[in-house]
Structure 1
Amino acid sequence: MSGRFPDKAAARRHVWERLEREGAARPPLPAHGRIPNFDGADTAARRLFTLAPWRDAGRIKVNPDTAQFHVRLEALRRGIEVYVATPRLAAGFRRIDPARIPAERLAEAADRRTWDAWSAEVDLGALPQMDAIVCGSVAVGPDGGRAGKGAGYSDLEFAILMELGQRPVPVATTVHDLQVVEAFPTEDIDQRLSAIVTPTRAMEVSATAVQPACIDWQRLTEADIAAMPVVAALRERPSGGVPSRRRPDRPSTSPMPPGRR
C-alpha cells in the first residue's frame, strides 16, 4: 500500500503513473485522465460477487467505464438487472435487462460501445430502488475514501438517487492492488465505499462515513446543468419529500471547485 497524499490530485497522479510504470494498466491507454482499466479486472469482478449484497442483488447501478466491463458482464450472467449512467450523464440512465438478452450477446450488452442495442432509456420517475452500487475509482483508501478521475459524475449519480428518495445502499469498487493507497482527504459530497475488491482480495470497510443525502446545487453552474438533461429535469421536479435537499432559489453560477470538474 502506498503512502499518504495531501489531496486527491496527488493520489491520482501517483496511481496513474504507477499503473503504467509497472505494466498493470490495460487499454484504453494512457491510464492518465481515466478510470483506469487494469490487469485482473475480470478476477476482481468475480470476487465482488462473492460479497453480499452484490451476490444476492436483483438490480445494481454500475459505472460505464471499461474497468468495470467485467462487473457488468458478471452481473448480467447472474441474472442481475444493470443500470448505467451514460457517460457524463449526457443521456441519463439506461437499463440492461438480462432476461431480454441471449446469453451469447451478454458481452455486447455489457460494453458501452454496443449496449444501446440491448438497453433502454429509463425516465427519472421509473428508476427503481437499487440493491447495491458499483463505481469506478482511480485511488481508494482503506477507510472507504475514493478518488475518481476528478469530474465528479459518480458522486453526482449517487446524489441523484438520494434526491429521488432512494435509501442508501452499499457502494463497492473494483481496482488493482496498486490503486489502494494509505490516505487522502475527502469531501462531504463524496460517496463512501463499503467494499474495495482487487484481483487478490476483498476489503470490507468496517465503518463508513455518512453518505451524501442530496445534490449540492451550489457546486453546479447553469452550463453544468444544461449539459446534463437528467439533472435539469430533476431540478424541475417537486422535492418529493426529501427534506435534506439543498436547492437554492436560483442556482449558483460559481464554478465547481478545482478538481471536481
Structure 2
Amino acid sequence: MLRSPSQTKQTDEKELTSFAHESRHVEQFNSNKRKGEFFSDLCYFIKKLAPKVLEDHTSSSSLMDVLKLSSAFPLAAKIAAVPKQALTFSPFPKTRAPIFPLFLTLNAEMKSGIHTTATRQNDAAFSEAAYEAERLSLDAAARETMAEKSAIEAEDSDDPKAWKWVIRKRVWDLMEARNIAQFPRPVHHRIPNFIAADLAANKLSNLEVFKEANCVKVNPDTPQKQVRFLTLNGGKKLLTPQPRLRTGFFSVLEYSTLNPSTIKEACTSVGVAKYGKPIGLDEKIKVDLIVIGSVAVDPKTGARLGKGEGFAELEYGMLRYMGAIDDSTPIVTSVHDEQLVDDIPIEKLLIHDVPVDIICTPTRVIFTNTTIPKPQGIYWDKLSPEKLGQIKILRQLKSKIERETGQKLPSGPSEKLPPTARRGKR
C-alpha cells in the first residue's frame, strides 16, 4: 500500500545509513544526500516499493515507472520531469536481501532542475546567529517604543485607541500574575505565549476549514509555532509574514522542500529566512485560511485586539489587494481561555480592525458568527507617514497604485513608531 506524504516523510535515516555502511557505500551515500534534501525520501520510496518492479538497476525508465505509481510521493512529479539521461544508477552489493536494489546518483543536470532547501542552508552569506541577534535587538527596541507609546495613549482620554491599551494591559498582567504566560517573557507588548498553546493548535488543526485548506497564512509569533508546524507537516503550503514586515513581505514554505529534520526549524524566524521563498505583491496565490495571533478576543462578537502595532491589519489589507483572500476567507485565532474578554466595544473598533470567525483555546472551539465587517484593503488615510516610511513593501504598493491610477493616495496623521529595521542583503 502506498504511503501518504506525511507517512513518506517518516524516513528512518538510521536504517538508511546502516545500509550504506553495510554496503560500503558510505561516501557515496553522504555525497548524494548532500545533493538534495529529498534524497532520504527518495531512498525510502525506492527501498519499499521498487524491489519488485526494478529488475534492471540501470534503467532510468524503470525508475520513472515506479515514481509514477504514486501521486502521494511529493517529489515524484519534479523528478519525473528531469531528463532520463540526467539520472545514473549503481547497484548495491548484495550483502543481504535485495531491499535496496539501486543507488541513485544525481548529476549536475538533475541538481539544476530540482530546487532543494540546501540552497539557503549552505549559503555562506546567511548567518543564523547574526540574523537572530539583530531580530531580537530590533524586537526589544520596538517593544520599548510601544510601551512608551501605549502609556501616552492610555492616559489620553480623547485618543480613540486608549481603551484598547487598558484591555491589553489587563490581559498581559493577568497572564503574568497567574503564571499562564510562557517564554518569551514578560508577555507585555507581545502576542503572548501561553501554557498549552499546543493543545489550542491541535484543536485548530482538527477544524474542517484547516483540513480542507491548501494554503494557510499564519502569524510568526511563538504561540502559533505549533500551528505552523501542523500546517507544514500536514503537507500544506505555509504563508508567513517576515517579522514586522522588515525585510520584505511574505515568505512561502512548502512541505515538499523540507525533510523531517528541517520542518521544526522552518517554523522559527531563522528557519523562515533559511528555507522560505520570499514573494512579492504580484504573486498569484490563494490563501484558504488565516491564523492570527491575539492579545484579547471577545467570543460573542469576534472582536479582537492584537499587540497594538497594526501589522496583522496591514498584512490582511495587502492580501486583499492581491486578491489572495476575500470576505469568505475564514480567520481563526488561538488563545488561552483567560484571553477571552467581554468588554471590547465593537462600536469603537476602527475600520481596519480584523475580527475573527473562530477561536481555539486549549479547552474549546468557539464559532463567533461575527457580524463585524472585514477590512476591504489598506486604508491609506489611517496610515501614518512614519509607518509608511518604516515598511518598504507598503511604499512599493502605494507607488504602484498611484502609477496605475494616476492619483495620489492620502496619508494619515503622524505618530511615534518603533525604530526602522534595516537588514543587510543576504
Give the Cα–Cα distance (whole angstroms) in 1 for the partners of residues 217 and 311 of structure 2. 13
Task: Report the structure, 1 or 2, having the larger strand content.
Answer: 1
Shift of residue 239, structure 1, vs aligned partner: 8.0
Give the Cα–Cα distance (whole angstroms) in 1 for the partners of residues 163 and 200 of structure 2. 26
Give the Cα–Cα distance (whole angstroms) in 2 for the partners of residues 36 and 207 of structure 1. 23
Bigger mean CA deviation after superposition, 225-234 or 136-145: 225-234
Equivalent of 2:263 in 69, 94, 106: 106
Give the Cα–Cα distance (whole angstroms) in 1 for the partners of residues 193 and 305 of structure 2. 15
- Equivalent in the alignment of 2:411: 252
Using CA pairs under 8 Å that are at least 6 residues apart, name the structure with larger relative contact order, 1 or 2: 1
Give the Cα–Cα distance (whole angstroms) in 2 for the partners of residues 24 and 78 of structure 1. 29
- Equivalent in the alignment of 2:223: 67
The DSSP-based 3-state class of the residue aligned with 2:370 is coil
String of CA shifts for 1:190-228, please: whole Å, max 9, x gaps.
Answer: 111000100000101123321010111012233322221
Q: Do the aligned residues in 2 keep the contact of 1:41 with 1:199 (CA within 8 Å)?
A: yes
- Equivalent in the alignment of 1:171: 331
Equivalent of 1:35 in 191, 212, 218: 191
**Residues 207/251 of structure 1: CA separation in 2 closer, same or farther (3 Å cut):** closer
User: What's the TM-score once normalised by structure 1's chain length?
Assistant: 0.89
Shift of residue 188, structure 1, vs aligned partner: 2.0
String of CA shifts for 1:154-201, please: whole Å, max 9, x gaps.
Answer: 011101111223323111110001100112132221111000100000
Give the Cα–Cα distance (whole angstroms) in 2 for the partners of residues 105 and 131 of structure 1. 24
The DSSP-based 3-state class of the residue aligned with 2:342 is strand
1:181 aligns with 2:341: yes
String of CA shifts for 1:30-65, please: whole Å, max 9, x gaps.
Answer: 011100001111111110011131121100111111
Q: Do the aligned residues in 2 keep the contact of 1:94 with 1:119 (CA within 8 Å)?
A: yes
Q: Do the aligned residues in 2 keep the contact of 1:19 with 1:178 (CA within 8 Å)?
A: yes
Equivalent of 1:193 in 346, 356, 361: 356
Bigger mean CA deviation after superposition, 158-167 or 129-138: 158-167
The DSSP-based 3-state class of the residue aligned with 1:252 is coil
**Residues 62/181 of structure 1: CA separation in 2 closer, same or farther (3 Å cut):** same
**Residues 187/254 of structure 1: CA separation in 2 closer, same or farther (3 Å cut):** closer
Give the Cα–Cα distance (whole angstroms) in 1 for the partners of residues 402 and 350 of structure 2. 24
Bigger mean CA deviation after superposition, 108-117 or 148-157: 108-117
- Equivalent in the alignment of 1:26: 182
String of CA shifts for 1:56-104, please: whole Å, max 9, x gaps.
Answer: 1100111111111111011111111111111111121100111110022
User: What's the TM-score once normalised by structure 2's chain length?
Assistant: 0.55
Equivalent of 1:216 in 379, 393, 398: 379
The DSSP-based 3-state class of the residue aligned with 1:206 is coil
- Equivalent in the alignment of 2:200: 44
Gaps of 5+ in 1: 1-5
Q: Do the aligned residues in 2 keep the contact of 1:218 with 1:252 (CA within 8 Å)?
A: yes
Q: How well do the aligned residues superpose, as a CA RMSD in angstroms? A: 2.3
**Residues 253/148 of structure 1: CA separation in 2 closer, same or farther (3 Å cut):** closer
Q: Do the aligned residues in 2 keep the contact of 1:170 with 1:194 (CA within 8 Å)?
A: yes
- Equivalent in the alignment of 1:3: none
How many aligned positions are there? 249
**Residues 117/182 of structure 1: CA separation in 2 closer, same or farther (3 Å cut):** same
- Equivalent in the alignment of 2:14: none
**Of the two, which has the highest radius of gyration?**
2
- Equivalent in the alignment of 2:253: 96
Give the Cα–Cα distance (whole angstroms) in 2 for the partners of residues 195 and 218 of structure 1. 29
String of CA shifts for 1:94-133, please: whole Å, max 9, x gaps.
Answer: 0011111002211100111332111111111115110010
The DSSP-based 3-state class of the residue aligned with 1:183 is coil
1:107-186 superposed matches below 5 A: 107-142=264-299, 143-166=301-324, 167-168=326-327, 169-185=329-345, 186=349
The DSSP-based 3-state class of the residue aligned with 1:124 is coil
The DSSP-based 3-state class of the residue aligned with 2:252 is strand
The DSSP-based 3-state class of the residue aligned with 1:84 is strand
Give the Cα–Cα distance (whole angstroms) in 2 for the partners of residues 28 and 208 of structure 1. 34
Task: Report the structure, 1 or 2, having the larger helix content.
Answer: 2
Q: Do the aligned residues in 2 keep the contact of 1:219 with 1:256 (CA within 8 Å)?
A: no
- Equivalent in the alignment of 2:27: none
Shift of residue 253, structure 1, vs aligned partner: 5.5
Shift of residue 7, structure 1, vs aligned partner: 2.2
